[in-house]
């Protein structure tokens, strides 16, 4: 493991220990605002199967760690999706912790009880997932920024981000970050199949994970441009667009499959005598109805005077998101003024080709190492042959790519066209958070967006006095929200 990556993994692990310690300390020093979290009503499907926990005190203490939405994630894991509003909580986290509780942690069930083991499984899973997500964040940042130091600074900020408490609790943020960041890393590395699978899983963790299909669309546009303009091959254009469409459908599939599951359970096999209003709609989308009906989510519906404190709570992350969008938009504008879009597209595709060769060579080395002593010579010759193909056939390509990278390294503010989909994605997410959603959710909703940390790292590294003051405020903001989150969220007080 490379030293910077190892450092990021260590920092991520340390950050999780710190957040968990702060949360436990807050629970010991202060009384929770809502003490109903340990209560566990019997499952509707099998009320007779619910029994008292073997150690009620310890079990209640562990179960009480599920606060706010954590209660709603634990319930489907224990009882399945019983209520209409529970379908707002997508199935990846409940299914994962149920699997862990019935396999790895099953010996603890007689000691703590099933529900407490579910909560414990969620905490273990999410903290491990965050460490892996931080590693992917660093690797993705190196690919996009082409600067290890900038990638490392941004990764440190991600490890201690303002929404840290959610990544160490029974929420879906850690799994979403793991699969979205991992999927994007593999996408820009040329491993499309792995990328599609991981991004589809991100869509089964959080609904906004389906938006990651846009990255495949961006890649398809680059490939289609290259095929039409550079290679003059119309069939390759069609092939690139069809492949992107199929992968995008695959990424959307888990979310819509879950909506279909909800429709069958409520509208077809539901116990209610009268059909629910959304069942009669032309497009019966359960998730949108739940968000609007139960939580009042909708365009400008949160713009009320009484919500001003929540707007203030979300203002730091929204300000940082807007700065990131403006900063990188200006950077891309300057880039397109100095370098043609054609040259940028070709360079981006060549870089991806080089990354694909690197990954292919690594897999060949791994396979040859596992093939045994008898096939050693054959495996080595295969590796050499592949390396010669990677170094000779695209020699001009590699030379052009390295030349372009050298120009970027001489001036880190030039950026790359690969930043464009990240900025478009962040802009859409920021608009949705501000105008549609509950505004206070913005802190965790935007917490897995890499440009926020890239821009913050850029500010921290800037030598001028004004940037140093803003860098100091960013650090204060990150630290303050970690402390506030650990204190308020853990004790069932409103945070974000």
Using DSSP, state whether 428 is helix, strand or coil: helix
For 220-261, what is each residue's pLDDT tens digit?
999 999 899 888 899 999 999 999 999 999 999 999 999 999
How confident is the model at residue 37, as a pLDDT? 61
How confident is the model at residue 344, as a pLDDT? 81
Kindly report the CA angle at 496 between 11 and 43, in degrees rounded to 5? Answer: 95
Residue pair 483/16 in contact by the 8 Å Cβ criterion: no
Per the model's pLDDT, the better-predicted residue between 83 and 430 turns out to be: 430
Query: How does residue 345 score in pLDDT terms, banded at 50, 70 and 90?
Result: confident
* CA separation for the pair 80, 92 (Å, rounded): 12
Phi, psi of 56 (to 5 degrees): -65, -35
How confident is the model at residue 55, as a pLDDT? 65
Using DSSP, state whether 168 is helix, strand or coil: coil
- List of residues 6+ apart from 290 with CB closer than 8 A: 84, 85, 87, 88
**Residue 377 pLDDT exceeds 80:** no
- The domain locations on the chain are 5-40+54-333+416-491
Q: How far is CA 299 from CA 291, 428, 431, in A?
A: 12, 14, 10
Among 73-87, 239-253, 263-277, 360-374, the range scoring the smallest mean pLDDT is 360-374
* CA separation for the pair 219, 244 (Å, rounded): 8
How confident is the model at residue 35, as a pLDDT? 67
How confident is the model at residue 59, as a pLDDT? 86
C-alpha of 38 from chain center: 29
- List of residues 6+ apart from 281 with CB closer than 8 A: 289
How confident is the model at residue 464, as a pLDDT? 86
How confident is the model at residue 58, as a pLDDT? 86
In terms of average pLDDT, the best of 30-34, 370-374, 472-476 is 472-476
What is the full DSSP assignment across 120-138? Answer: HHHHHHHHHHHHHHHHHHH
Q: What is the mean pLDDT of residues 293-312?
A: 94
Q: Please report where in the chains the tokens 């692990």 appear, as a residue.
A: 13
Residue 88, token pair as written in the block: 């707002």
How confident is the model at residue 364, as a pLDDT? 45
Q: What is the mean pLDDT of residues 309-332?
A: 96
Query: How does residue 407 score in pLDDT terms, banded at 50, 70 and 90?
Result: very low
How confident is the model at residue 273, as a pLDDT? 72
Q: What is the mean pLDDT of residues 363-367?
A: 43
**Residue 395 pLDDT exceeds 90:** no
* CA separation for the pair 296, 117 (Å, rounded): 33
Kindly report the CA angle at 253 between 251 and 258, in degrees rounded to 5? Answer: 130
Residue pair 211/184 in contact by the 8 Å Cβ criterion: no
What is the full DSSP assignment across 90-112? Answer: -SHHHHHHHHHHTTTTGGGHHHH
- 101 class by beta-carbon count within 10 Å (0-12 exposed, 13-18 middle, 19+ buried): buried
How confident is the model at residue 355, as a pLDDT? 63
Q: Which helix (H) or strand (E) holds 392?
A: helix 376-392
Using DSSP, state whether 218 is helix, strand or coil: helix
Q: What is the DSSP letter of 228?
A: I
**Residue 366 pLDDT exceeds 50:** no
* CA separation for the pair 471, 462 (Å, rounded): 9
The b/e string for 466-479 (b: 16+ C-beta within 10 A; e otherwise) is eeeebbeebeebbe
Neighbours of 360 (CB within 10 A): 16
Q: What is the mean pLDDT of residues 384-398?
A: 41
Residue closest to 76 by CA, chosen among 64, 90, 63, 65: 90
Residue 322, token pair as written in the block: 């807007």
Q: What is the mean pLDDT of residues 166-175?
A: 97
Query: How does residue 270 score in pLDDT terms, banded at 50, 70 and 90?
Result: confident
What is the full DSSP assignment across 169-213? Answer: SSSSHHHHHHHHHHHHHHHHHT-HHHHHHHHHHHHTT-GGGGGGH
* CA separation for the pair 313, 477 (Å, rounded): 11
Residue closest to 59 by CA, chosen among 112, 15, 97, 95: 112
């Amino acid at each position: 493991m490379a030293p910077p990556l190892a450092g990021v993994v260590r920092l991520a692990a340390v950050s999780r220990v710190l957040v968990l310690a702060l949360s436990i300390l807050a629970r010991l020093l202060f009384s929770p605002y809502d003490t109903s979290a340990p209560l566990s009503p019997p499952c509707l499907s099998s009320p007779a199967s619910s029994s008292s926990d073997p150690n009620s005190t310890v079990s209640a203490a562990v179960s009480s760690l599920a606060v706010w939405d954590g209660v709603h994630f634990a319930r489907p894991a224990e009882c399945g999706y019983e209520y209409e509003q529970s379908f707002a909580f997508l199935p990846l986290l409940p299914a994962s912790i149920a699997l862990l509780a019935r396999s790895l942690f099953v010996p603890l069930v007689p000691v703590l009880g099933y529900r407490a083991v579910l909560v414990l499984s969620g905490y273990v899973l999410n903290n491990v997932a965050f460490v892996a997500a931080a590693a992917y964040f660093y690797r993705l940042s190196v690919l996009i920024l082409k600067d290890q130091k900038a990638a490392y600074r941004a990764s440190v900020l991600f490890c201690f981000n303002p929404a840290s408490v959610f990544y160490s609790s029974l929420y879906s943020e850690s799994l979403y970050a793991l699969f979205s960041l991992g999927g994007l890393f593999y996408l820009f590395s040329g491993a499309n199949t792995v990328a599609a699978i991981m991004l589809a899983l991100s869509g089964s963790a959080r609904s906004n994970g389906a938006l990651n299909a846009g990255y495949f669309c961006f890649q398809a546009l680059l490939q289609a441009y290259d095929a039409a303009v550079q290679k003059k091959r119309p069939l390759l254009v069609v092939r690139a667009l069809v492949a992107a469409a199929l992968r995008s459908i695959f990424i959307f599939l888990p979310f819509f499959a879950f909506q279909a599951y909800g429709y069958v359970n409520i509208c077809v096999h539901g116990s209610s005598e009268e059909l629910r209003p959304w069942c009669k709609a032309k497009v019966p989308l359960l998730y949108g109805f739940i968000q609007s009906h139960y939580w009042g989510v909708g365009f400008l519906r949160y713009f009320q005077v009484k919500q001003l404190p929540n707007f203030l709570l979300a203002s730091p992350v929204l300000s940082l998101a807007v700065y990131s969008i403006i900063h990188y938009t200006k950077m891309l504008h300057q880039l397109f003024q100095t370098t043609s879009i054609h040259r940028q597209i070709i360079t981006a595709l060549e870089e991806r080709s080089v990354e694909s060769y690197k990954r292919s060579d690594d897999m060949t080395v791994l396979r040859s190492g596992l093939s045994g002593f008898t096939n050693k010579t054959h495996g080595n010759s295969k590796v050499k042959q592949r390396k010669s193909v990677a170094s000779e056939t695209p020699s001009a390509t590699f030379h052009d790519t390295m030349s372009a990278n050298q120009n970027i390294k001489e001036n880190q503010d030039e950026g790359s066209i690969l930043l464009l989909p990240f900025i478009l994605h962040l802009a859409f997410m920021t608009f949705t958070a501000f105008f549609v959603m509950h505004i206070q959710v913005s802190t965790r909703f935007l917490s897995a967006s890499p440009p926020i940390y890239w821009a913050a790292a850029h500010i921290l590294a800037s030598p001028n006095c004004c940037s140093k003051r803003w860098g100091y405020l960013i650090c204060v903001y990150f630290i303050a929200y970690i402390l506030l989150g650990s204190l308020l969220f853990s004790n069932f007080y409103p945070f974000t």
